[in-house]
């Protein structure tokens, strides 16, 4: 009787745990709720392997149970001698063949999808330059923040990646200091960002799925990279293509830093230009800065990748970044009074990109023109052209992707 109670207890516990665990799946963050083609394919592979595993477990359990039940001494008698089947060819062929068949069933889609998902050829045109028709993002991982460069239009942003839905988005991944790993769980598996060499892959974001998660997916660093590794988060804003184009055009439109509006913000701008501009750009150009690009900081959802976006949090962050992200590279880089910090914060909150200010047509034309120019240039002066960073990354990635695509982070 006691035993039965114990069983019931365990069953109850497992049920409750299962209920909790099933609540963990969130649209914006879960591998189990894929938000695009790549994630879906990887999810299907997981399902396939689980089904095969379950099949094996069930078949073996059934055979085992049958053997135990049927061959009891009670049934067969004390003197029963089982038939000796050692060396039986038929049996040996059968139990060698079954695992091979199962592995083949698993291997065919796995190999096919591995190659399919590593195919980033469309990212480049015939001259090995970034293809202006495709969406390409150069990602640089830094301790403990992310930079996103759109090489086709020369726009740089950070912490919040903006992508169009229902299109392949190609990524060139790189790190500036130590190894990190770029991971948008809902969109697909992670990939390492290395210091030497560029890893490339693509992801897709389904428009319907993006709507289900308020157009915001969560991204993570998936490689232990230092004390603030767990805080190295970023967001992915997945917008319909027209809105994405408009966002790019709006960003591109900002050539001069946004002028401060309120009085304290104007003061803040001056302080910013003295103490902060060495690391933080406020125009959407200049990849490879020492700190995140702040051009559209006022529009962000979060501060430093994880704090709620409020002026109060911003002041606290500027006052003592170390308290929020141990070992971050901004700590101790300036010395400001509380008042100065408040005005700088007021200025930063005003850094918004005016919606609809950019002209999408001009953006497209200039992207096409620049790629045409580049290709004719490179035809004549190949050496010079290949020293430009965006081209370098594109041609590097081809060599690297084949060898390092499989390197997942952990
Ligand atoms: C030595 C370079 C350096 C200086 C100088 C510096 N910062 Fe930073 N800042 C950084 C780095 C690096 C980060 C990223 C920290 C992290 O998330 O790990 C950062 C992050 C930030 C963020 C969060 C950005 C985001 O995208 O959410 C803000 C806001 C910020 N800094 C404001 C300032 C202000 C204001 C000043 C001047 C008073 C300043 N910084 C001076 C390097 C610097
Ligand atoms: Cu990291």
Q: Which domains does the chain have, with CATH numbers?
A: 24-75+90-239 (2.60.40.420), 241-365 (2.60.40.420)
Q: What is the tens place of the pLDDT at every residue in 311-347?
A: 999 999 999 999 999 999 999 899 999 999 999 999 9
Ligand nearest to the CA of 175: 2
Closest ligand 1 atom to the C-alpha of 145?
Answer: 17
Residue 105 burial (10 A CB sphere; 0-12, 13-18, 19+):
middle
Whether the CB of 318 sits within 6 Å of ligand 1: yes
CA of 311 to the centre of ligand 1 (A): 15
Closest ligand 1 atom to the C-alpha of 314?
Answer: 29
Residue minimizing CA distance to atom 37 of ligand 1: 276
Closest ligand 1 atom to the C-alpha of 292?
Answer: 26
CA of 331 to the centre of ligand 1 (A): 8
- CA–CA dist 248, 240 (Å, integer): 12
pTM of the model: 0.81
CA of 122 to the centre of ligand 1 (A): 36
- 191-193 β-sheet, strand order: 160-164, 234-239, 216-221, 180-183, 191-193
pLDDT of residue 136: 94
Whether the CB of 275 sits within 6 Å of ligand 1: yes
Pocket test for ligand 1, best of 234, 265, 276 (most atoms within 8 A of CB): 276
Whether the CB of 347 sits within 6 Å of ligand 1: no
The CA-atom distances, in angstroms, between 275 and each of 53, 77, 113 are 59, 91, 49
Write down the number of H helices and E strands in the chain.
13, 12
pLDDT of residue 2: 58
With contact defined as beta carbons under 8 Å apart, do 359 and 249 qualify?
yes
Whether the CB of 315 sits within 6 Å of ligand 1: no
Residues of the chain with pLDDT under 70: 1-4, 6, 19-25, 369-410
- CA–CA dist 181, 215 (Å, integer): 23
- CA–CA dist 352, 309 (Å, integer): 13
The CA-atom distances, in angstroms, between 118 and each of 174, 299, 345 are 16, 33, 43
* Cis preceding-peptide flag for 144 (omega within 30 of 0): yes
CA of 193 to the centre of ligand 1 (A): 22
Closest ligand 1 atom to the C-alpha of 329?
Answer: 12
Backbone angles phi, psi at 180, to 5 degrees: -125, 180
Q: For the packed helices 241-253 and 360-380, what is the interaxial angle rounded to 10 degrees?
A: 70
Closest ligand 1 atom to the C-alpha of 303?
Answer: 27
pLDDT of residue 410: 40
pLDDT of residue 113: 95
- Which residue in this structure is represented by tokens 């086709």? 152
Whether the CB of 292 sits within 6 Å of ligand 1: yes
């Amino acid at each position: 009787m006691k035993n039965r109670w114990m069983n019931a207890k365990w069953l109850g516990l497992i049920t409750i745990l299962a209920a909790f665990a099933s609540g963990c799946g969130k649209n914006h963050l879960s591998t189990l709720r894929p938000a695009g083609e790549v994630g879906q394919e990887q999810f299907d592979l997981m399902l396939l392997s689980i089904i095969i595993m379950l099949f094996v477990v069930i078949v073996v359990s059934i055979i085992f149970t049958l053997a135990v039940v049927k061959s009891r001494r009670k049934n067969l008698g004390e003197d029963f001698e089982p038939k000796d089947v050692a060396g039986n060819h038929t049996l040996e062929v059968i139990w060698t063949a079954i695992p091979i068949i199962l592995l083949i069933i698993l291997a065919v889609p796995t190999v096919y999808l591995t190659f399919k998902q590593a195919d980033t050829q469309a990212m480049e045109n015939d001259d090995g330059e970034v293809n202006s028709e495709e969406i390409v993002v150069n990602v640089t991982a830094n301790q403990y923040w992310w930079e996103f460069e759109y090489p086709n239009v020369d726009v740089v942003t950070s912490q919040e990646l903006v992508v169009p839905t229902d299109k392949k988005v190609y990524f060139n991944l790189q790190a500036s200091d130590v190894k990190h790993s770029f991971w948008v769980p809902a969109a697909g598996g992670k990939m390492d960002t290395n210091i030497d060499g560029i890893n490339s892959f693509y992801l897709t974001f389904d428009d319907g799925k993006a709507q289900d998660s308020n157009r915001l997916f969560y991204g993570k660093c998936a490689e232990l990279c230092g004390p603030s590794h767990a805080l190295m988060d970023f967001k992915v804003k997945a917008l319909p293509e027209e809105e994405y184009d408009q966002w790019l055009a709006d960003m591109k439109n900002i050539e001069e830093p946004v002028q401060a509006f309120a009085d304290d913000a104007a003061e803040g701008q001056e302080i910013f230009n003295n103490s902060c501009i060495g690391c933080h750009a406020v125009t959407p150009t200049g990849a490879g800065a020492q700190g995140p690009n702040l051009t559209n900081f006022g529009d962000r959802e979060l501060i430093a990748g994880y704090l709620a976006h409020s002026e109060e949090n911003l002041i606290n962050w500027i006052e003592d970044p170390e308290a929020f992200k141990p070992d971050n590279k901004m700590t101790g880089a300036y010395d400001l009074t509380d008042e100065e910090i408040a005005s700088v914060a007021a200025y930063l909150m005003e850094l918004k990109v005016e919606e609809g200010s950019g002209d999408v047509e001009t953006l497209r034309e200039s992207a096409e023109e620049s790629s045409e120019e580049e290709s004719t240039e490179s035809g004549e002066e190949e050496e010079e052209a290949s020293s430009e960073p965006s081209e370098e990354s594109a041609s590097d990635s081809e060599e690297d992707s084949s060898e390092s695509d499989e390197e997942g982070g952990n």
